A and B are shown apart, each in its own frame.
Chain A
Amino acid sequence: TVGAVALDKDGNLAAGTSTGGMTNKKFGRVGDSPIIGAGTYANNKTAAVSGTGWGEFFIRNVVAYDLSALMEYKGLTVRDAGEQVIKKVGAMGGDGGLIALDQKGNAAMPFNTAGMYRGTITKDGTIEIYIY
């Protein structure tokens, strides 16, 4: 699974996710990536979110929308909201990670797996790549 969240010069957020699904997948199973609110969500009032992980748990927890709702209704930062929703997934026995970006350019990249491929770029073009 791959994903991206972006903030443009007009202050608009966008999120996208694309996946090949799950090895050895059967019966037409679909994960969270194409499900708006589960693996992909964007709202200028809160954040843009893209998830990757055990899809069934991201769907049941409506992870991407939940992060946005924690920010909108409880005033959490994108970082705290991201930590909370990944913790909820872990508490149910699932695992994975997400990337999120808010309208002020704050980023969050929480995950509870052994690793996650992540990358960021700032307004002035500074790039950071993280794998573990």
Chain B
Amino acid sequence: GQYVMVIHGGAGTILRSSMTPEKEKAYRTALEAALKAGYQKINAGSSSLDAVQAAITMLEDNPLFNAGKGAVFTHDGKNELDAAIMDGKSLKAGAVAGVTVIKNPIMAARAVMERSEHVMLIGKGAEQFAKECGLTIVDPKYFYTEDRWKGLQKAIEEEAEKNKRGNGYNPPGTGYPDYKFG
């Protein structure tokens, strides 16, 4: 009963064999920094919303994680980002989906919650709203990372392989490769 914040950086196939000591250290350092960013807010008497936003903004800015800067690529070679935030006290909530030029989607979700009468905005409309709220708008190239680009090429090859074997579509529960977690 003593926790004030919990964070995650995604779930999926994290093979110990593919996790070098340097990589593991980089993940641990990033997660610690995000926890400290949120903790500082709580300690300063700020709201849990501010703590959540501070922690997630740090993780969005770190290319190690599939969010913000480190987002994976869609089949069309784009980065489509989603985010949501919710306040346990008022049950207010905000979300954005399918955005491509908002540097920190969690900030856009918060703006939707606090500066609009909606809960969810998507695509170009969400981007227009974020721009009018003064959030940082970036060129889509900002989200390019070599690692994720290679991940996309690998996924497309695997899909072509599967299609060749005639089972391109994987019904749920048929061992769909969880490369999608990034």
Contacts and interface: CB of A to CB of B under 8 A. Distances in A.
A36 B109 CA distance: 11
Interface residues of A, number: 78
Contacts of B85: 14-17, 40
B130 interface: no
Contacts of B2: 105, 122-124
Contacts, number: 329
A4 B1 contact: no
A24 B73 contact: yes
A40 B93 contact: yes
Determine the main DSSP class of B at the interface with A.
mixed
A116 interface: yes
B142 interface: no
A54 B8 CA distance: 15
B91 A94 contact: no
Contact of A118 (B6, B52, B73): B6
A12 B87 contact: yes
B24 A23 contact: no
Contacts of A74: none
Contacts of A109: 6, 8
Interface string B135-151: 00000000100001001
Interface of A: 1-10, 12-26, 28, 30-31, 33-36, 39-44, 48, 50, 52-54, 56-57, 92-101, 104-107, 109, 111, 113-125, 127, 129, 131-132
B101 interface: no
Given A111-B11, A116-B11, A24 B74 contact: yes
B133 interface: no
Given A1-B182, A34-B82, 10 more contacts: A4-B55, A19-B83, A28-B98, A36-B95, A113-B13, A115-B15, A117-B9, A119-B34, A121-B4, A123-B4
B164 to A, nearest CB: 16
A129 B5 contact: no
